[in-house]
Amino acid sequence: MNLKKWCLWGVIGFLAFLAILLGNRAGFLSNFIVYTFLFVIAGEGWNLLGGYIGEISFGHAVFFGVGAYCVGLPIGYGYDLPLPLLVLLGGVVSAALAYILSYPLLRMRGFPFLIATFGLGIIFQKVFHISDFFFSTRGIFLPSVSNYILYSAIGAVTFASIIGTQWLVTQNIGLSFRAIRDAPDAAQMAGVNIFRTKMMAFVIGAFMTGIAGALFALYRSYVQPMTCFSMEISMAILLGPYIGGIGTVLGTAIGAFVVLGLEEVSKDLFVHGHHLFLGSILVIIMLTMREGIYPTLCKYLEKIPWSIRPVVREASRIK
């Protein structure tokens, strides 16, 4: 195993271990770690289409919410199904929905695609909000799950999502993703099926986001449309990759920690104006680190003249 893989496994293994370590402890830190892990999973899914292919979606809360309701609806209607099966169902149904939606959505590019996904998020939120079939505004209360089991599961899924994404983007399909982003005409001339490749990224990303939504529902023990399909969810999913480093695997994980950490700090400092403070800090980060935190740090570390520079160089190649 080369150094790049050791670095990747080491970082993610530590995060997974930390989640398990906090399994039997309730409080701010454990909540922060869990929510961050969930948005790392969803962010990695979003990053496949938004970061590696370059089609910015502002509606991934749709798949997050669908994943949550795939857990909530069977329980709400009295079906006694295994919870792991419901979590997997959340990912599968979200992926199937993405497959269907890809035909109209992926025919669009750039700003029209962004607006279409934004509108889709609003539509799903309103439909689930007014429909009695989805329990409307009442929401659905879910049975509580052992903290140790739930935290371990979330840590393991986070671990798998980052390792899986890292593996995927280093395969030929990952090269196709970047080719479509950087030179779509050349990619098409080289034989890359642009629509199918985008669809693959969209479907896989939706599966990951649906899994995150399902785990979110179990952790909250409550499902409600104004929360699961909210624009705040879409924004949090999107900001992680943007702040950490769009089109990078570890950057997405770092960005999720930074965004959620800044949100908690801003809530403590400014009770009524924390969104303004948070937005200002994020703008400053984007202006000073245009490529994101992780790629910028890697560039600075490359300039270190010490004997550890070869190690830093190898670590900086982890995408």
| Residues 109-126 pLDDT 10s | 888 999 999 999 999 999
Q: What CA–CA distance (Å, rounded) separates 312 from 303? A: 10
Task: Give the per-residue pLDDT at 289.
Answer: 79
By the 8 A CB rule, do 216 and 72 touch?
A: no
Letter for the amino acid at 133? F
Q: What CA–CA distance (Å, rounded) separates 206 from 192? A: 22
* Closest by CA position to 40, among listed 174, 239, 231, 229: 239
* Closest by CA position to 64, among listed 36, 41, 47, 32: 41
Task: Give the per-residue pLDDT at 46.
Answer: 95
CATH code of the domain containing 9: 1.10.3470
Task: Give the per-residue pLDDT at 268.
Answer: 73
- E strand map for the chain: 140-141, 222-223
Write out the residue range of the structural domain in which residue 98 sits: 3-316
**pTM of the prediction?**
0.87
pLDDT < 50: residue spans in the chain:
1-3, 6, 24, 307, 312
Say which residues have a Cβ less than 8 Å from residue 163's Cβ, sequence separation at least 6. Answer: 8, 9, 12
| Residues 41-51 pLDDT 10s | 999 999 999 98
How many separate domains does the chain show?
A: 1
